[in-house]
Amino acid sequence: MKVLLTGATGYIGSAVTDHLAAAGHQVVALTRGAEQQPGRGWHAQLVGDTADPASLAGAVTPDIEAVIHLAPPSGDAAVDTAVIEALAAPLRGTGRPFVYTSGVWVLGATGGAQEVDEQATVNPIDIVGYRPRIEERVLAEAAEGVRAVVVRPGIVYGRGGGIPAILVDRARLQGAPEYYGDQGVRWPTVHVDDLAELFVAAVERAQAGTLWHGVGEPAVAVRDLARAAGRAAGVLAAPHAVPVEQAAEVFGPLFAEALALDQSVSGAAARTALGWQPSRPRAVADLESGSYRPVEVFGAPDGPGTDAEVAAIRRLVAEVEHAQQNELVDRFLSVFRRQDPVWTTGHGKRLSGFEEIASFTRKVLPGAAAESTAVYDVERVLFLRPDVAAVNVRQQPVQHDGTRITDRPEGRPFYLLVKEDGTWRIGAAQNTIVAD
Ligand SMILES: NC(=O)c1ccc[n+]([C@@H]2O[C@H](COP(=O)([O-])OP(=O)(O)OC[C@H]3O[C@@H](n4cnc5c(N)ncnc54)[C@H](OP(=O)(O)O)[C@@H]3O)[C@@H](O)[C@H]2O)c1
């Protein structure tokens, strides 16, 4: 299909572009700026501004087979109505899809343990007070022969962006992770690539007049997200709650209310009816050890293949951390290659061969985390071959509550990893204390 996409330069729009193209569709991007952006994978580019609905007249030409509207509304009812009119009217009587992007904030605070679904009555918070009216306006197009569909994404994460990136920035700025409002606040979340796949599914097969929650995890504790954001920022202090009034001084009262909103929202309907299958890492894992943790990568081309290898290497290093923190001898040993591994410890002890490493580990690991432990972060990966990688790691000593132990030096482990039978393992490792 040839799909007109508003908001194509944005966070969600970039992912939707990628997934539409991967599914064989052509993206015609509607952008505010006229400068050409050849690297984005668009089939064509049109200029238009949703603040000026007249500029959209003529955007939906007869060859446009679907419209996905991601650009945010202005909040001015007359302008927003005129925008929907300009984008949907040319599709009337064609049965072609018009997919509008709303958001779960129209549901307001859901409270309780029960996840709310698409049948729940809306109760929008102030920042999106105008949105239910637009949803209704869009869905009314179903009666006019438009395959009108509304998608309400949860809090979008992934690719190092979205609202969770604010948590990372704030943790870095403040030296401690923070979350807003009550400590029990939960956000429904969705990975940006999973959400993009939902938009593709909606364009391809959602029925006219339907509404879908784009939610991967119904209710993620924001406190956990904040802690993970702290890790992403390299800040190890425990997260603390910022009262909404104080958050309003930083973010403004409307956005502060949204950040403090407690919601539990089901995304089950889209899975059942549209065959949508969210598969990306969960929000906490992605913050803690995924796309919010920049790793320098050398020796391999940019792209999903390299991303997957780097993610697998990060999992291996996370396994080293987990095994050490929990004194799990067998799991620690499982990260080593069986054949002739070598390891020089942070104290300068050289271990040669799997048996020597195993007997040393059995001796020293039990009890090693009694007083304190360490966290490990991948900093740099050099692919010497597709199946051989040199990896620089940062090791920081911490208390059990994650607080950094400042009077103990950091380590800089260096791992030479080998991928055998589809699994990365340590072939050689050396830990070096950072002297200053
Ligand atoms: N991110 C989330 O967690 C989330 C959750 C639920 C719903 N949503 C909704 O999803 C939509 C997209 O969000 P996003 O996170 O991708 O936002 P974003 O990164 O800020 O992108 C917004 C996009 O809209 C375009 N745009 C802004 N004003 C415009 C105008 N007046 N005319 C034409 N284009 C305009 C921007 O183009 P320029 O390049 O010209 O700025 C950009 O491409 C929004 O409606 C948002 O409310 C987002």
Confidence tier at 111 by pLDDT (50, 70, 90) = confident
Question: Which of 289, 322, 357 marks a domain boundary?
Answer: 289
pLDDT on residue 436: 67
160 CA to centre of ligand 1 in angstroms: 16
Average pLDDT, the chain: 94
Residue of 4, 6, 9 to test ligand 1 pocket, by largest number of atoms within 8 Å of CB: 9
Higher-pLDDT residue of 96 and 309 is 96
Mean pLDDT of 145-156: 98
**Which has the minimum average pLDDT: 94-108, 146-160, 363-377, 393-407?**
393-407
In a domain, 436, yes or no: no
CA of 312 to the centre of ligand 1 (A): 32
In a domain, 435, yes or no: no
Tell whether 282 and 301 lie within a shared domain: no
Name every protein residue with a CB atom under 6 angstroms from any ligand 1 atom.
6-13, 31-33, 49-51, 70-72, 101, 103, 153, 155-156, 162-163
pLDDT score recorded for residue 402:
66
Look at residue 37 in the predicted model and tell me its pLDDT.
Answer: 82
Residues near 258 by beta carbon (within 8 Å), at least 6 away in sequence = 105, 125, 127, 128
- Report the pLDDT value the prediction gives residue 398, as an integer from 0 to 100: 82
Inter-residue contact 236 to 108 (CB < 8 Å): no
Whichever domain contains 18, its CATH number is: 3.40.50.720
CA of 128 to the centre of ligand 1 (A): 14
Residue 396's pLDDT is: 86
Q: What pLDDT score was predicted for residue 284?
A: 93
Please give the number of the atom of ligand 1 that sits closest to the Cα of 214.
Answer: 6
Cα–Cα distance for residue pair 363/160, rounded to 1 Å: 40
Query: What pLDDT band is residue 108 in, cutting at 50, 70 and 90?
Result: very high
Grade residue 152 by pLDDT with cuts at 50, 70 and 90: very high
Say whether both 28 and 161 belong to one domain.
yes
Report the separation in Å between the CA atom of 395 and the middle of ligand 1, taken as the mean of its atom positions: 38
3-7 mean pLDDT: 98
Domain final position from 289, 310, 331: 289
Average pLDDT over residues 311-320: 88
Which of 289, 305, 321 terminates a domain? The answer is: 289
Distance CA 359, CA 158 (A): 41
> Residue 153 in contact with residue 104, Cβ under 8 Å?
yes
Closest residue by Cα to residue 49 from 41, 40, 37, 57: 57
**What are 223-267's pLDDT values in tens digits?**
999 999 998 998 878 899 999 999 999 999 999 999 999 999 999
Q: What is the mean pLDDT of residues 342-360?
A: 95
pLDDT for the residue numbered 197: 97
Q: What confidence tier does 308 reach under pLDDT thresholds 50, 70, 90?
A: confident
Across the range 104-116, mean pLDDT stands at 92
Judge whether residue 280 has pLDDT over 70.
yes
The Cβ of residue 298 has, within 10 Å, a number of other Cβ atoms equal to: 11
Domain coverage including residue 358: 296-430
